[in-house]
Structure 1
Amino acid sequence: MTEAPRKIQASLLERAAQVYDFDAHLRARSGAAPARPAPILDLEFGQPPETTRVPESAPIPELAPVPKPAPQSIHPRVAAAEASVRPLRMPTGGKSIAIDRAMLSEKGLLVPGAAIGALAEEFRLVKRHLLLTAKTVKLHDGDRSRTILVCSANTGEGKTFCAVNLAISLAAERDTEVLLVDADFAKPDVMRRLGGSDGPGLLDILADPRIEAERCVVATDIPQLSLLPCGTKSNTDTELLASDRTATLIATLLAADPRRIIIFDSPPALAASPAGVLATQAGQVMLVVRADKTSEGDLRQAVALLDGCEHIQLVLNAVSFVPGGRRFGSYYGQEDAS
């Protein structure tokens, strides 16, 4: 007797696709007709669902779930080999920091050279989406395609966690140099998370054209990853970002290395105005959505504030998965049963 096929319950991402419509304000402004919905990649199962219906709306940005981090470890031989093959790249200013791999693991961040796990695989998928979108942006925005703004609607939704992990993951690419910029001026956290200290940075360069940008860049012993602190706090941070100096600075940083990708860790869109201003300078926005916290209303408002950028991608953070489920990472730890 043939067993009847079981009905698969709609995933979290499929249900979200039936609710959110982030492009409505753009269509209303341009007078364009609603576009036909495209399949949404459901990373929980690794393939697109058969159908995705969004009533009277265009498709939402890509949703890529990021699981809660698990501790990682790096083998001493891997660390030694990495250091011998890829020496520390020093910026013009000669500043550099060594990043403690054990500290990265304790904070739930990706560890270069560690065994591949679920978190590493999820960020591999996230960066593939961003790199593919960058190719599209390059056709009409040139070098701006090499800039990514990481943002969230509210505080505590994991934007800096995702920005740091994205930077580490992108730095593993063979053809990139990554510059992670701390643009969260009220609560800078990038340098602290990586074991460094704040110093002259973005705000200082914007305020004083005499400061050479590359002299503020801090190299790290993670190959192909460098940092730019937020700099001296100012009461005119939004006005500095809105000046023509910002576009000139970004162009200068990109011209310094044709392989460089700039990642901006901005303040939350609903908490501070710099996020919306920076969005006008970025090739694309990675908007972090916390599964157990971000409301639909806050998400809609954040997307509206960031609409200065045409390409907004969503990353679903803090997703809980059932142990033993079909998730990335476990495959690499399986022994050959044959």
Structure 2
Amino acid sequence: MRDAGMVTAAGGRTNLLEDFRVIKRPLLKRAFSEASAPGRPNNLIMLTSSLPGEGKTYCAINLAMSIAMELDHTVLLVDADVARPSVLRTLGLPAQRGLMDILLDDKLDLSDVMLRTNVDTLSILPAGTSTPRATELLASSTMTSLVTEIAHRYPDRVIIFDSPPLLLTSESRVLASHMGQIVMVVEAQGTTQHAVKESLRQLEGCSNVNLIYNKARDIPGIEETYDYHYG
């Protein structure tokens, strides 16, 4: 992960590590406060973007790793980009059963498909088997029960969802209806203002929407930096 430019506990003090320390702090502060909307616990955090390629999976993994370094929290990273899952591929792991399989098979339990990692405080729920019924499954009562369970099973847990892009699928809008916090990744010099405005319009009704300005280069030759804003 360090070679891939990811946040790691053994990677030393880097600009990237410091960036995600800044990013995670207000999210954690809000995660365990009273939910602003019924049924949307604030420890459910969705990362999304307007379009593919803006770095949402990269940010989701780094945010999860950064939170896993906390002394008082555990993290579940959910690959909810069910049409184009990339969390396991980014981490060099083979595809496995996961979220969609739980929603399709009521005999499966979360523990049957959740992956443990070599970081004790970090677990992963893969996207699972691809299905054309993904939107309906994410909007189902089974999904509501699942997110309620994972939000409340452990009092110190933060759940990070890597979501599909907002402007390509309907799954992301359905998924957002379960979330307490939304983080939208915006690619510097790549995402148009129109795309950002349209994505934010689709998130109307979600009170806790935040932006990560990704891939910004302020000084030539300096590694990528991230700028974080509340929306």
Q: TM-score, normalised by structure 1?
A: 0.63
Aligned to 1:305: 202
Structure 1 position 231 matched with structure 2 position 128: yes
Report the aligned-residue RMSD. Answer: 2.0
- Using the alignment, how far apart are the partners of 1:204 and 1:264 within structure 2? 16
Structure index of larger Rg: 1
Structure 1 position 198 matched with structure 2 position 109: no
Structure 1 position 153 matched with structure 2 position 43: no
Could you give the per-residue CA deviations for residues 119-177 of structure 1, whole angstroms, max 9, x where no partner exists? 10010000012112324453665871110000000011000000000000000111111
Structure 1 position 288 matched with structure 2 position 206: no
Runs of 4+ aligned residues of structure 1 deviating over 6 Å after TM superposition are: none
Q: 1:116 aligns with which of 13, 18, 32?
A: 13
Higher strand share: 2
Within 5 Å, give how 1:38-57 maps onto structure 2: none
Aligned to 1:132: 29
Q: Secondary structure at the match of 1:138?
A: coil
Going from structure 1 to structure 2, the CA distance change for 1:142 and 1:249 (only over 3 Å counts) comes to: closer
Aligned to 1:219: 116
Going from structure 1 to structure 2, the CA distance change for 1:282 and 1:143 (only over 3 Å counts) comes to: closer
- Using the alignment, how far apart are the partners of 1:322 and 1:306 within structure 2? 33
Given that residues 146 and 260 in structure 1 are in contact (C-alpha distance below 8 angstroms), is that contact kept between their aligned partners in structure 2? Answer: yes
Q: TM-score, normalised by structure 2?
A: 0.91
Q: Secondary structure at the match of 2:42?
A: helix
Given that residues 279 and 307 in structure 1 are in contact (C-alpha distance below 8 angstroms), is that contact kept between their aligned partners in structure 2? Answer: no
Going from structure 1 to structure 2, the CA distance change for 1:257 and 1:133 (only over 3 Å counts) comes to: closer
Aligned to 1:241: 138
Question: Which runs of 5 or more structure 2 residues have no equivalent in the other structure?
Answer: 226-231
Q: Secondary structure at the match of 1:145?
A: coil
Identity of aligned residues (%): 39
Aligned to 2:211: 314
User: What is the letter of the counterpart of residue 302 of structure 1?
Assistant: S
Given that residues 40 and 179 in structure 2 are in contact (C-alpha distance below 8 angstroms), is that contact kept between their aligned partners in structure 1? Answer: no
Given that residues 276 and 308 in structure 1 are in contact (C-alpha distance below 8 angstroms), is that contact kept between their aligned partners in structure 2? Answer: no
Given that residues 175 and 259 in structure 1 are in contact (C-alpha distance below 8 angstroms), is that contact kept between their aligned partners in structure 2? Answer: yes
Deviation for aligned residue 1:109: 1.1
Structure with higher RCO (Cα < 8 A, 6+ apart): 2
Q: Secondary structure at the match of 2:95?
A: coil
- Using the alignment, how far apart are the partners of 1:324 and 1:193 within structure 2? 25
